[in-house]
Structure 1
């Protein structure tokens, strides 16, 4: 492309585009876009409003993440005014299939708790036996969330033999600095890493336990 434009809400670690609009305080890129359209007093189609609303609540987990702010609700208000269906959005984002249900139970069964940290390391055969793709399996980190005793949680999913991707989450602790040590990135309380060995997986688990103290 002759020009690259990046619109993002993640903390930038490198310049990608010739034009970059980055708002680290936004709960979602969809939030940024909705607020932009609203500021322009622009009407958007019902389908666009639906897609943006679903992206908004997917990223801020229905307005529950630490980076949810007043503008997040302003964006939602605008998108609903433009025709987004809240009920359908919740069904599309949060209803799960029977296959998902069974795999989520696998993630829970393999979860290990230690010192306010919950981690689960999943192998290819764990999701392949349920005819699930890696892209679906790696998103299941939320299964480990919402536990009173757990301050940090992480899902490690094997992408190819011996190579893992990590999703790190925390209620308040900074997991981004752990991800950065392994060339990962993201938000303070939600970060990811690609291409880890099993040895590195166990190193990161120790770092999470140390961070929880």
Structure 2
């Protein structure tokens, strides 16, 4: 679908040209993203797949990884054998390090492209375009696709949803004038910001009931709020690990909660963590515990119960000395 609104990309022309040169070279393109995907990971992956499929209808373009996060809008992932990936072009979005890529078969691909907005901790890819100042992977992917005018209502909706969820409806510090310009551009292709807002930022009675049951488990000290969901509690609520982690947002928007964190016990007894902050840098703490991410939003994984306590102590120290 052509669009009359002109928007100049800030991506270097050499990067754009190399990206499309590689895309055009391969008959099969496999798009990956990080494990435990959020809206930005799904949005960048699904938006890229849909748009490139429209631009190159004779190519085989697949989106790979697990399902089951409970997020609306996004389609199920594709299922392919190793032969499909072998010799293909792999595009990896929204994933700072290879260890976190969902579906480890990405290594079978002949060529790798990395597109990301996290601080770079693992340099990989035959072509790597990483811009930590961007709001989301979806913002970067949108710019790449706008060059070819290959967006439509479906792809632009995936991408706008990813931008909205990663920026919490354009309210965090990585939201820039460029972010809003790109979001506006996506809307001209048919992405409906009101519909997406209702889809991702409202809740049904079941979710509200779970929040009510989780609220008494929230603890608070020295500006830090946290919620620990052990396996027994998680299973009693009928939640997967990925679904449980999304309940971190029940602690957001409270003035006294300068930093908030959720820790979810997995089947092996280790914990997956998610950290958020109003203003104090927290990704340096996450990096010490098999994690990382943005300055004010980070993830951790493979934590022991002792690790959880250590992380909380360091968060309180950071808040008190920030």
* Shorter-chain TM-score tier: over 0.9
Displacement of 1:92 after TM fit? 1.8
Partner of 2:122: 14
* Structure 2 Cα separation of the partners of residues 178 and 7 of structure 1: 24
Deviations 1:24-57 (Å, cap 9, x if unpaired)? Answer: 011111111223333x261411100111111110
1:50 aligned residue (141, 154, 157): 157
Task: Give structure 1 stretches of 5+ with no counterpart.
Answer: none
Partner of 2:136: 28
| Kept after mapping to 1: 8 A contact 2:290/2:302 | no
The count of residues paired between Structure 1 and Structure 2 equals: 212
Partner of 1:138: 245
| Kept after mapping to 2: 8 A contact 1:120/1:154 | yes
1:180 aligned residue (259, 267, 287): 287
Deviations 1:105-147 (Å, cap 9, x if unpaired)? Answer: 2332111110111011111222222222111111211111111
Structure-1-length-normalised TM-score:
0.95
- Alignment of structure 1 residues 116-135 onto 2, 5 Å: 116-135=223-242
Instruction: Tell me the secondary structure at the aligned position of residue 111 of structure 2.
Output: coil
CA RMSD of aligned residues (A): 1.3
* Structure 2 Cα separation of the partners of residues 44 and 191 of structure 1: 30
Instruction: Tell me the secondary structure at the aligned position of residue 191 of structure 1.
Output: strand
| Kept after mapping to 2: 8 A contact 1:116/1:152 | yes
Displacement of 1:182 after TM fit? 1.1
- Alignment of structure 1 residues 1-213 onto 2, 5 Å: 1-38=109-146, 40=147, 42-213=149-320
Partner of 2:7: none
| Kept after mapping to 2: 8 A contact 1:153/1:170 | yes
* Structure 2 Cα separation of the partners of residues 117 and 111 of structure 1: 10
Structure-2-length-normalised TM-score:
0.64
Task: Give structure 2 stretches of 5+ with no counterpart.
Answer: 1-108
Displacement of 1:161 after TM fit? 4.5
| Kept after mapping to 2: 8 A contact 1:179/1:193 | yes
Q: Any runs of at least 4 consecutive aligned residues in structure 1 with deviations exceeding 6 A, and if so which?
A: none
Instruction: Tell me the secondary structure at the aligned position of residue 264 of structure 2.
Output: strand
